[in-house]
Amino acid sequence: MQLRRGWSREVVAFAIAAASGACAESDDVGAVESAVTATFQTGVDEYVGTLDGEISNRGGPNGSTDMDSPTARIMRSKHPANEYAALVKFTNLSLPPGAIVTSAALTLTFDDDLGGHSVRGYYVSRGWNGSHVGWGLRDTGMWWNTPGAKGMGTDVIAAPAFVDADWSGAGTVRRTYALDVEKVQKWIDDPSTNRGVLLSNNVQPSNGSLRMHTAESVASENRPQLTIQYTVSDGAVITLAASAHPRIWMDAQVLQRMRDRAMAADARWVALRAVCNSYLPGVVRAPNPVKCQDSCSGSTICCGFQGESYYPALLNLGLCYQIGRRLTPADPSTTAWAQKGAAVLAQMVTFTNY
């Protein structure tokens, strides 16, 4: 771990112990491995990498394509016999070096005005160009093996990534589908393998349709979202002086006094708790690898000038955790504070450009 100028080793060790709940009594704090959640959704935290839209067999060999509308149809109609499928791909997936994906999920919002659908999601095997893709072509002069990217084992991986037949015509609904961890890990390690997901509808309703909200949806919360949970480890060991203790600012007596104040709803605890809870719905923004000098507000935690904005958030969360876990019963946000503190640490260790 490389430390920002002005951050003593003791301070970082305290933060590690506070955020993780470690009760280290030795002089070494081991390698840090923290669970982190990253979300990718167009228009949220400056992400703009979603490619999505619909392809259809209407209008000739290459059919019709719409990559600009706020919704994409996923349907098969009887009269006339038209088919529509949706493509979704998240580009520019940036995680810290050495990140190990532990889970991944795709969240989509649909307009279901009929019900009775059977949606299947497939990992796309062949590359496609959003400017030229269609029912027949996947790029200029390059054809799908089977029109509509239906080639099982050629255009798409034969085994569906997910199947969803639970549709009741309830209107606007949001669904989250678990993705294969190894597949998403490959997307991170080798972006050329990231060809996204194809969604098709295997039933033929007499009327009505299923529409997926795209990255062009006016409401940002309805746009496709990819959520990745991962761990990172910096492999470093921080060695403290023999007389140092990770909790250099407080001992058991001080923590007990703070716990007693919290149990009595002391105004200072109420204010600190509110600050810690304000971080929970937001994201921990990764540092800019070239120059860390951003700013943020609200629930977002960012690097700031040379990492200085990470510092107060981490200490607040660590202190909330250490007090909250000592309450009877423990504060309901205790685990969330620890996880958010670990997420801050995970980004701090990636910032090395001073």
Name the 3-class secondary structure at 184. helix
Residues 216 and 94 placed together within one structural domain of the fold: yes
Residues 212 and 124 placed together within one structural domain of the fold: yes
Name the 3-class secondary structure at 308. coil
Query: What is residue 27's predicted lDDT score, i.e. its pLDDT?
Result: 36
Which residues, 6+ apart, have CB-to-CB distance to 78 below 8 Å? 204, 206
CATH number, domain at 191? 2.60.120
Is residue 305 one of the residues assigned to a domain? Answer: yes
Cβ atoms of residues 223 and 49 within 8 Å: no
Which residues, 6+ apart, have CB-to-CB distance to 346 below 8 Å? 32, 34, 36, 96, 232, 284
Residues 14 and 71 placed together within one structural domain of the fold: no
Helices 310-324 and 334-348 pack at an angle, to 10 degrees, of 150
Domain boundary among 211, 232, 253: 232
Domain boundary among 200, 232, 264: 232
Is residue 58 one of the residues assigned to a domain? Answer: yes
Cβ atoms of residues 182 and 110 within 8 Å: no
Give the residue numbers spanning the domain of 20: 9-30+244-348
Residues 75 and 15 placed together within one structural domain of the fold: no
Domain count, the chain: 2
Cis peptide before 80 (omega within 30 of 0): yes
Is residue 211 one of the residues assigned to a domain? Answer: yes
Is residue 4 one of the residues assigned to a domain? Answer: no
Residues in the chain: 354
Query: How many Å is the maximal CA-CA distance in the chain?
Result: 81
- Rounded CA separation 196/100 (Å): 20
Render 104-138 in DSSP notation, one character per residue: EEEEEEEEESS----EEEEEB-S---TTT--SSEE
Residues 221 and 148 placed together within one structural domain of the fold: yes
Query: What is residue 251's predicted lDDT score, i.e. its pLDDT?
Result: 65
Residue 104 phi/psi, 5° resolution? Answer: -150, 150
**C-beta atoms surrounding 260 within 10 Å:** 13
Residues 279 and 194 placed together within one structural domain of the fold: no
Which of 22, 7, 19, 9 has its CA nearest to residue 237? 9
Residues 152 and 289 placed together within one structural domain of the fold: no
Is residue 75 one of the residues assigned to a domain? Answer: yes
Beta bridge partners of 197: 88, 123
Query: What is residue 254's predicted lDDT score, i.e. its pLDDT?
Result: 76
**Residue 83 CA, distance from chain mean position:** 32
Residues 54 and 176 placed together within one structural domain of the fold: yes
Question: Per-residue pLDDT for the chain (354 aa), expressed as one digit of tens each?
Answer: 233 333 333 334 444 444 444 333 333 333 444 568 899 999 998 899 999 999 999 888 899 999 999 999 998 877 677 899 999 999 999 888 778 899 999 999 999 988 888 999 999 999 999 999 999 999 999 999 999 999 999 999 999 999 999 998 899 999 999 999 999 999 999 999 999 999 999 876 545 579 999 999 999 999 999 999 988 754 433 333 333 344 445 667 777 888 899 999 999 899 999 999 999 999 998 888 777 778 888 889 988 887 788 888 988 998 899 899 899 999 999 999 999 999 998 888 877 665
Structure tokens at 132: 């030229």
Name the 3-class secondary structure at 164. strand
pTM over the 0.85 mark: no
Beta bridge partners of 164: 119
Cβ atoms of residues 302 and 45 within 8 Å: no
Residues 283 and 214 placed together within one structural domain of the fold: no
Is residue 131 one of the residues assigned to a domain? Answer: yes
Query: What is residue 3's predicted lDDT score, i.e. its pLDDT?
Result: 33
Is residue 37 one of the residues assigned to a domain? Answer: no
Is residue 73 one of the residues assigned to a domain? Answer: yes
Residues 20 and 96 placed together within one structural domain of the fold: no
Q: How far is CA 188 from CA 202, 338, 346, in A?
A: 31, 26, 17
Residues 215 and 88 placed together within one structural domain of the fold: yes
Helices 252-263 and 267-279 pack at an angle, to 10 degrees, of 90
Domain boundary among 176, 198, 232: 232
Residues 288 and 262 placed together within one structural domain of the fold: yes
Cβ atoms of residues 186 and 193 within 8 Å: yes
Beta bridge partners of 262: none
